[in-house]
Amino acid sequence: MIGLFDSGLGGLSVVRHVRSLLPLHDLIYLADSAFCPYGPLPREQVTLRALGCADWLIAQGAQVIVIACNTASAAAAEILRARLNVPVVAMEPGLKPAIEVTRTGHVGVLATSGTLRGERFANLVERFADGVEVHRVECPALVELVETGELSGPRATALVAAHVVPLIAADVDTLVLGCTHFPALRTLIAEAAPQAMIIDTGPAVATQVARVACSVVLEPGSGTLRCATTGDPATVAPGVANIWGSELPIEQATW
């Protein structure tokens, strides 16, 4: 079994890519909705939540852990790798590929404060952004749209445009989806920036998950998908259905 977690529902975008590559492997997804969003939380608290989520998934039988959350990856990836006895796959914003394809030298990164203000992101900028202007945009309102399943409509369109259009006006031609929530809003983002290249690292992370599953000889199962939340399953269920495209049973996770 492969276990994935996020602060909320955004990590379902990663689940979708993993499912596409590994259709017969059993997956379990945990949304830490009781503590969503992670972005404004202190780094130490995010680390504790990430450890709790990983431990819960392992207790359910997960043999690979995927941190399907940029904020949790920034805060806790190395700690989880040091403490857990299973492989850990983490995420980081796709700044390097964005810099490779920008023509204007202006790249926009849509993410949470926890990601954009973290040491991991600062190191990415230092390593790869020589000569490129990196425009950082904190987007808590967009996270909330996805959590509630509001992926279309006038309000969602206006909120996305408010975050994206100023970047295009600043000559940004490449947008990095630095939060796993934002692929769910990709259609609206593309409408607000029709000429921009959009970078989503979900497919690359899924490819790495497939490599790890092969390296630890993780055998295919029956292709099941379990979903759980630390919040209220009844509250979370509508958002899950809107993001996934169909209703999924939601379990209660406690520890």
Active site (catalytic) residues:
69, 179
C-alpha of 243 from chain center: 13
Q: How far apart are CA 178 and CA 136, in angstroms?
A: 10
- In the chain, the N- to C-terminal Cα span, in Å, equals 20
Report the C-alpha gap between 139 and 143 in whole angstroms. Answer: 7
Which DSSP helix (H) or strand (E) runs through 20? helix 12-21
Element (H, E) at 65: strand 64-67
Buried b (16+ CB within 10 A) or exposed e, 209-233: bbebbeeeebeeeeeebbbbbbbeb
